[in-house]
Amino acid sequence: MDSNILYDKLIEENMDKGYQVRLVVNEFREVIYIQLRKYFLSYEGEWVPSREGVSIPASFENIRAMLDGLLDVCASAEGEALIQEYYERLEKKQT
């Protein structure tokens, strides 16, 4: 892991298309950022970040706003179905 990466979580992986989406927290020029970024599989077999994604300062206000938005999605009918699917997948992994 790169020394300036403080957190790295795989969100989605599509091996057929050779990409991942990752949630990354890193430090750049003494500012901590949160990124949701697409990574591609290089010819050398390493995952490398692309320009596709978003990076915002990891301020309390930004984190709270993102969490608030995610909770809104989860509270909706579509979000409920996503949560159900997620927990069903977790149960399958545990068995």
pLDDT of residue 36: 95
pTM, two decimals, is 0.71
Q: CA 22 → CA 13, 29, 58, 91, 95, distances in Å?
A: 9, 21, 16, 23, 26
**Burial class for 39, CB neighbours closer than 10 Å (0-12, 13-18, 19+):** buried
Find residue 58's DSSP bridge partners: none
Lowest-pLDDT choice from 48-52, 64-68, 87-91: 87-91
Please name the residue that has the structure tokens 């309390």. Answer: 60
Q: How many percent of the chain have pLDDT more than 70?
A: 93
